[in-house]
Structure 1
Amino acid sequence: MDSIVSLFAVNAAVIFTVLILLWLISIAIKDVSFIDSFWGFSFVIIAGVTYCMTEGGSDERRLLILVLTAIWGTRLAAYLFWRWRKEGPDGRYLAMLGKAEPYPHRFSLRMVFLLQGALLLIVSLPIQLGSIPSEPASIGVVGWIGAGLAIIGILFETIGDWQLARFKAQGAGGVMDKGLWRYTRHPNYFGDTCVWWGLFLIAAETTLGLASFIGPAVMTYLLVKWSGAALLERRLKRSKPEYEDYVRRTSSFFPLPPKRD
């Protein structure tokens, strides 16, 4: 138990220290939008800290969790940072902070940076608990199934983001309904979900890791019901009249063949 508490404490100290520094940067540049790119990379930090603090367990499992998290988080962070530099401040944050006058910086500290830190520590439970020394030491069938699911998720999310970026670059307007976007309205969020349930399956072969299901459950809720798909769809329905037709024929989350008009 002491090792678990120590691991959580160190990860919390590192993450909240970095987030407060980023909050100070956001005040200086008058933009908090870049925090989205830190979301992915923060899990890489947690995975790195956890790997260094959990020596003595299954090197195979620890290394697999570290590598998969690093690939997913670094790719996502780079893409979101590129998008932020290309598109500028996110209108969602501008609207939210506009309602927080006359103390927008206090609001952003609580509701953007510190809240994100708390969510990071919860979502990352498969990374932390799955790396703590436990039996069985080696990866079994369930763990390798989880690894495969995580890889599928990384590919699905990467391809979806690339297809959307190429569509926007063409400047044709309208609704993206080609490629993976023909089968699900949110291939990037679906891929994200696969990654986290995959990491959970790797962790779940251990007693402690089995208790980490709350991590992917929270991530799924965030992506589907809170800050992900639900928020995005409300905005798109207001800004794109043709989006309603896209909703009628396209699966909301799980990839399925499109419905006929």
Structure 2
Amino acid sequence: MNMKESRCLSFIMLTIVYALAFVVGLLVYHAFRGTGWHYLWQLFIADAAATVVVWFFGVVFHNVSVYDPYWSVAPPVMLTLWACRLHSWTSATVLVLIVVWYWGIRLTGNWAFTFKNLNSEDWRYAKYRKEQHPAIFQLINFFGLTMMPTVIVFLVMIPGFFVIEAAFQANIVCWIGFAMCIAAATLQLVSDTQRHRFAKDHRGQICEVGLWKHGRHPNYFGEILMWWGIWVMYLALWVETGTGCTLRDFCVAGALLNTCLFRFISVPLMEKRQLQNKPGYAEYRKRTRMFL
């Protein structure tokens, strides 16, 4: 049997890939620590280096989905390492780490549940691979399917980095952001569980149970809400010190771009496929909201 056809061996190979990416990221970060660059640039370059490792093995395995778990693995690891680096363990830091680990474990678990093997590639990637010239596809793969999500995920983490750096005690605004994040990750957990249970006995049918009765993408709504919650936790600095992030500051860019990614790219792409493959989806769209 081909190693890529084995689910167990595929998991092992991906674990090795991500361990290597982690080591490369750490080495690159330490290489740039003495440059005098702002720490956000140092962290981003390390993040990008780790991404390149994952992208490279995606090319080797002929499967862009090698990158899929990076979205949920990177934030808990990077934010925890940043807290360790600064020895910042205030209540605000702990709240940030609790929510990103809850969200990350939940989302990575959902990926693992649906993962088949390294021969199985997400239909969106397979579509690009089929429609584009190989050279063009690899450009799309590197910049659009791999590096762009890494940039967006890094941007949504920036408020979390700032909270950890500020080392302040959680106030009411911080707790509000924490509650938003817990609600968001729980919403994703419930919606994905409902969808998986429905699909088990109703493959190919439109899921209209639970949250899906009211919105077409409650799981996406949870992903959007999660990072707005992190941003709200950073707004707590304004209450605490009188300075911090406002609507005009760049650190809101991550949550905005993440919202736009789902609203204008992920949802339209998914719904176009659903309209083509599932009879009755047009009617389902008319009687439901996009998110929740």
Q: TM-score, normalised by structure 1?
A: 0.86
Distance in 1 separating the partners of 2:198 and 2:215:
16
> Which of 111, 120, 124 does residue 92 from structure 1 map onto?
124
Q: AA paired with 2:276?
A: R
Q: Residue 65 of structure 2 corresponds to which residue in structure 1?
A: 33
1:42 paired to 2:74: yes
**Equivalent residue number for residue 107 of structure 2:** 76
The whole-number CA distance in structure 1 between the counterparts of 2:208 and 2:131 is 34
Q: 1:37–1:77: 8 Å Cα contact kept in structure 2? A: yes
Distance 1:49 1:153 in 2: 24
For residue 117 of structure 1, what is the aligned residue in structure 2?
Answer: 150
User: What is the CA–CA distance in structure 1 between the aligned matches of 2:285 and 2:107, rounded to whole Å?
Assistant: 26
Relative to structure 2, which stretch is displaced further, 159-168 or 47-56? Answer: 47-56
Distance in 1 (CA, whole Å) between partners of 2:129 and 2:144 is 10
Counterpart residue type for residue 114 of structure 1: M
Q: CA deviation at 1:163?
A: 0.9
Aligned AA (1:243):
Y
8 Å Cα contact 1:160-1:181 kept in structure 2: yes
Match of 1:142 among 167, 173, 182: 173
Which residue type is aligned with residue 239 of structure 1? N
Q: Which amino acid aligns with 1:251?
A: R
Could you tell me the percent identity over the aligned residues? Answer: 22
Offset, 1:172: 4.3
- Say which of 216, 222, 228 aligns to 2:255: 216
Residue 208 of structure 1 and its aligned partner are, at CA, apart by 3.5
Give the aligned partner of residue 264 of structure 2.
Answer: 225
1:97 Cα deviation (Å)?
A: 2.4
Question: d(CA) in 1 for partners of 2:164 and 2:211?
Answer: 33
Tell which deviates more after alignment, 196-205 or 72-81.
72-81
**Shift in Å, 1:242:** 0.6
Residues 11 and 50 in structure 1, CA contact (< 8 A), matched pair in contact too = no
CA deviations on 1:116-142 (whole Å, 9 max, x unpaired) are 2222222222212222226xx221111
Q: Give me the whole-angstrom Cα distance separating, in 2, the residues matched to 1:25 and 1:41.
A: 17
The aligned counterpart of 2:200 is 169
Large movers: runs of 4+ above 4 Å: none
Q: 1:141 to 1:31 in 2, by over 3 A?
A: same
Letter in 2 for 1:44: P
TM superposition shift of 1:209 = 4.4
Measure how far apart 1:6 and its partner are: 3.5
Aligned residue for 1:183? 214
2:53 counterpart residue number: 21
Q: CA deviation at 1:46?
A: 2.4
Q: Does residue 1:12 correspond to 2:44, yes or no?
A: yes
For structure 1, the residue ranges without an aligned partner over 5 or more in a row are: 256-261
Return the alpha-carbon distance in structure 2 between the equivalents of residues 251 and 115 of structure 1. Answer: 28
Q: State the AA in 1 paired with 2:182.
A: I
How many Å apart are 1:106 and its aligned residue?
A: 4.1
The letter for the 2-side match of 1:105 is Q
TM-score of the two chains, using structure 2 as the length reference: 0.78
8 Å CA contact 1:154–1:192 kept in 2: the answer is yes
The match for 1:258 is none
Shift of 1:213: 2.0
